[in-house]
Amino acid sequence: MTTGAIVLGIFLILGVLGFFVLLSLFPFRTFVKCLSAGVPVGPIDLIAMNLRKVPTDVIIDTFIRGNKAGLPLYLDRLEAHYLSGGDVEGVVNALISAGRANLDLTFEKAAAIDLAGRDVQDAVRMSVQPRVISTGGVAGMARNGIEVIAKAKITVKANLDTMVGGAGEETILARVSEGIVSAIGSADTHTDVLKRPELITQKIMKSGLDAGTAFQIISFEVADLDVGRNIGAILQNDQAEADRKVAQAKAEGRRALALAQLQENKAIEQEMKARLVEAEMRVPHALAECFRRGKLLVQRKRKTPAVAMTTGAGPT
């Protein structure tokens, strides 16, 4: 056997092996599906997707569904979104629903919403069918000190333009609760709120509480109003009790100070008595010392004569 025949045989073997390798990488059924659906996808694209470990069945089925729905899709964008960790099927289904509802939603915007961690299909669904959010009992105090507890229902729809980076439902509920408290606090009496619940509604709708959120407030309704505690009276009682305790504490302080002063005066009194006793004890010693030194003279009293002179003259 000549050298040329050996080389030719080696090339034939390598060609057969390469053919089987390409055949193993080539999704024949998927390619046939593309041809039958009229989708322009080449064999090289399918082989490249297999080499990048991209599920061709999912991408091609989604691509065909989008093309049949009239969406301007590109295969490389779908593949890139899948490799980024996105939900390709959810994005395309959301685009189809948005197209049926005449919503302005592009593939880039839908992919960004999906990669932001939000459910893009639920966002489109909320744009078509608004959702009702209920608040719990929100308590506010009118100017007369009476508490009013309000429950409300908020109708919101998704805002696709601010869905990426916008605040969620918790922010809407927090802002609405703040607006309810502010509206109740602006009323002179609690009866004004009970008679005119629209004061709360007007306050909420004019405040623009949906700014910077992923939703848009469509309507606001007060579902229930209840009268709560008399907070003004409670605060007054608490203040009076606090004042009483302060006055009592001050009185106890003055009493303790007076008792201390009394004890101090008693101690001074005992000290003065001790000094008096000490001084009295020194008197006899001082007298004896004066007698001894002759500094103390005692004048004797003259005795009165027993018989008085009749002549009136003095004694002889």
In this prediction, residue 52 carries a pLDDT of: 75
Please write the tens of the pLDDT for every residue from 146-190.
Answer: 889 999 999 999 888 888 888 888 999 999 999 999 999 888 888
- Beta-carbon contacts of 240 under 8 Å, excluding residues fewer than 6 positions away, are none
Asked whether the beta carbons of 120 and 164 are under 8 A apart, the reply is no
Band (pLDDT 50/70/90 cuts) for residue 55 is confident
Is 141 a residue whose pLDDT tops 70? yes
**Nearest-angstrom CA–CA distance, 249 and 184:** 38
**Nearest-angstrom CA–CA distance, 177 and 144:** 20
Structure tokens at 41: 């996808």
Band (pLDDT 50/70/90 cuts) for residue 307 is very low
Please write the tens of the pLDDT for every residue from 9-20.
Answer: 666 666 655 555
Task: Give the residue with greater pLDDT, 110 vs 68.
Answer: 110
Task: Give the residue with greater pLDDT, 311 vs 114.
Answer: 114
Q: Phi-psi category of 216—alpha, beta or left, where left has phi over 0 and alpha has psi -120 to 50?
A: beta
In this prediction, residue 72 carries a pLDDT of: 84
User: Which residue matches tokens 């609760």?
Assistant: 177
In this prediction, residue 154 carries a pLDDT of: 92
**Nearest-angstrom CA–CA distance, 154 and 134:** 6
User: Which residue matches tokens 């008693």?
Assistant: 266
In this prediction, residue 70 carries a pLDDT of: 83
131-233 to CATH, choices 1.20.1250.30, 3.30.710.10, 3.30.479.30, 3.40.50.300: 3.30.479.30
Q: How high is the mean pLDDT of the chain?
A: 81
Work out the average pLDDT over 115-135.
89
In this prediction, residue 304 carries a pLDDT of: 55
Report the interhelical angle of 198-206 vs 169-186 (nearest 10°): 130
Band (pLDDT 50/70/90 cuts) for residue 297 is low
Alpha carbon of residue 126 to chain centroid: 27
**Nearest-angstrom CA–CA distance, 204 and 198:** 10
**Nearest-angstrom CA–CA distance, 198 and 223:** 11
In this prediction, residue 26 carries a pLDDT of: 56
**Nearest-angstrom CA–CA distance, 252 and 236:** 24
Computed on alpha carbons and rounded to an integer, the radius of gyration of the chain in Å comes to: 54
Alpha carbon of residue 219 to chain centroid: 26
Q: What percent of the chain has pLDDT over 90?
A: 11
User: What sign does the dihedral 69-71-74-78 (CA atoms) show?
Assistant: negative
**Nearest-angstrom CA–CA distance, 234 and 252:** 27
In the chain, the largest separation of any two C-alpha atoms, in whole Å, equals: 205
In this prediction, residue 238 carries a pLDDT of: 83
Is 292 a residue whose pLDDT tops 70? yes
In this prediction, residue 174 carries a pLDDT of: 92
User: Which residue matches tokens 């509604």?
Assistant: 201
Structure tokens at 241: 């009790």
Please write the tens of the pLDDT for every residue from 90-123.
Answer: 999 999 988 888 888 888 999 999 898 888 888 8
User: In this structure, which long-range contacts are made by residues 268-276, counting pairs with CB atoms below 8 Å and at least 24 apart in sequence?
Assistant: none
Question: Domain spans of the chain?
Answer: 25-128, 131-233
In this prediction, residue 315 carries a pLDDT of: 45
Work out the average pLDDT over 266-283.
87
C-alpha distances (whole Å) from 11 to each of 4, 16, 23, 150 are 11, 8, 18, 85
- Which range is least confidently modeled, 58-62, 78-82, 124-128, 294-298? 294-298
In this prediction, residue 153 carries a pLDDT of: 93
User: 140 pairs with which residues across the strands?
Assistant: 148
Work out the average pLDDT over 269-292.
84
Work out the average pLDDT over 220-248.
85
In this prediction, residue 10 carries a pLDDT of: 66
C-alpha distances (whole Å) from 252 to each of 202, 243, 260, 266 are 55, 14, 12, 21
Please write the tens of the pLDDT for every residue from 179-219.
Answer: 999 999 888 888 888 888 888 998 888 888 888 888 889 98
DSSP secondary structure letter of residue 116: T
